[in-house]
Amino acid sequence: MRIDRLKEFISENELDGVLITGKENLFYFTGSSPVLGGYLVVTPDDAIFIVPELEYEEARETSRVPVEKFKTGKELYERLSSFKLKKLGIEGRTSFSTLQTLREKVGAADFVSVDDVVKELRIIKTPEEIEVIKAACGIADMAMMAALEEISEGKREREIAAKMEYVMKMNGAEKPAFDTIIASGWRAALPHGLASDKRIEKGDLVVIDEGALYRHYHSDTTRTIVVGSPNEKQKDIYYAVLEAQRKGVEAARPGMTAKELDTLVRDVIKEYGYGDYFIHSTGHGVGLQIHEWPRVSQQDDTELKPGMVITIEPGIYLPKFGGVRIEDTILITENGAERLTKTERELI
């Protein structure tokens, strides 16, 4: 069915075929994910997955699409040439080097991006995909619990991340969904403060942003705590962010646009007087990639629909003082939204 949509795209755009090489798109369309990569060729009538010889046996076991193998680049290019792919649909990420090879050795001359049709498919998750994302979110919650237990005065941010990632892997994750963020004290004002060698100090705000990669799907969640007792200003920004995040989760539903959801969350932060310190968008889609569609931002008018999985993650960042971010991965349902990451949000 997914491949059928690519065939429609071929017909709509009068292409000779589509070539997919991106790791997660290969998994999406074939069910297989060779470490050394592969080439999914879709033509008006056919689909074939061409993989390096070393990957052949495993690909044959996992792929829903017929599999062929190649030994050398020459063999691969000859086989690709046989499809006569002059006007070719490719992914937007396809590299300049690959384009040159396709031109010089495969006879392709004209390229069209297939990104929009891939997005149209992948933006709505199937029940099977949702189950896997829920499991990935469950692992993220376990890692968050480990972080909350582990964080104390004197420990290094990196040590906390090490423990969290150990917990993820022991619970079945392939790896962290992205480089774990542990940003304490002044570093909490950095939206992307990767866990560093800084030691956690008493009174620090600590932003913990993490997720797990599980069976090819990602999860994403953030909590913020204070080591010791929060001061008034810390409380002030904490409760502003918490209210914005809660209102976002409550409001998210089919029919509203991603932009409207961003506005609604942003307005809460503005009401508290911190609008200038919420310096990123409200969220993003999550799936086979950690950042996918829709973007919950002022630039994305996508209408929310059941089966979309997005994050809601408002934040306030005060330079030198620190910052707060609270984030859940949520599923858009028929009537509203469901939180897939479930760690308690009120932590100070």
- Binding positions for a copy of itself, rule: CB under 8 A: 35-36, 53-54, 58, 90-97, 99-100, 111, 113, 115, 158-159, 161-163, 165-166, 169-170, 172, 174-176, 179, 190-192, 194, 197, 279-280
Shortest approach of a copy of itself to residue 36 CB, angstroms? Answer: 7
Residue 168 backbone phi and psi in degrees, to 5 = -55, -50
Rounded distance between C-alpha atoms, residue 24 and residue 220, angstroms: 18
From its phi and psi, is residue 164 left (phi > 0), alpha (psi between -120 and 50) or beta?
alpha
Shortest approach of a copy of itself to residue 284 CB, angstroms? Answer: 13
Shortest approach of a copy of itself to residue 96 CB, angstroms? Answer: 5
Shortest approach of a copy of itself to residue 35 CB, angstroms? Answer: 4
Rounded distance between C-alpha atoms, residue 52 and residue 134, angstroms: 33
Q: Which is nearer to a copy of itself, 91 or 236 (CB)?
A: 91
Residue 199 backbone phi and psi in degrees, to 5 = -85, 145
* Exposed / middle / buried, residue 25 (Cβ in 10 Å: 0-12, 13-18, 19+): buried
Shortest approach of a copy of itself to residue 155 CB, angstroms? Answer: 11
Shortest approach of a copy of itself to residue 170 CB, angstroms? Answer: 5
Q: Which is nearer to a copy of itself, 182 or 241 (CB)?
A: 182
Q: Which is nearer to a copy of itself, 35 or 109 (CB)?
A: 35
Shortest approach of a copy of itself to residue 232 CB, angstroms? Answer: 27
Q: Which is nearer to a copy of itself, 15 or 337 (CB)?
A: 15
Rounded distance between C-alpha atoms, residue 178 and residue 216, angstroms: 13
Q: Which is nearer to a copy of itself, 77 or 111 (CB)?
A: 111
Rounded distance between C-alpha atoms, residue 256 and residue 3, angstroms: 29
Q: Which is nearer to a copy of itself, 14 or 96 (CB)?
A: 96
Q: Tokens for 289, please give them.
A: 């990639």
The three-point CA angle 213-214-220 to 5° equals 45
Sorted by sequence, the CB contacts under 8 Å of residue 19 that are 6+ apart come out as 39, 40, 41, 42, 80, 85, 88, 89, 90, 94, 102
* DSSP reduced 3-state for 227: coil
Rounded distance between C-alpha atoms, residue 181 and residue 115, angstroms: 29
Q: Which is nearer to a copy of itself, 294 or 315 (CB)?
A: 315
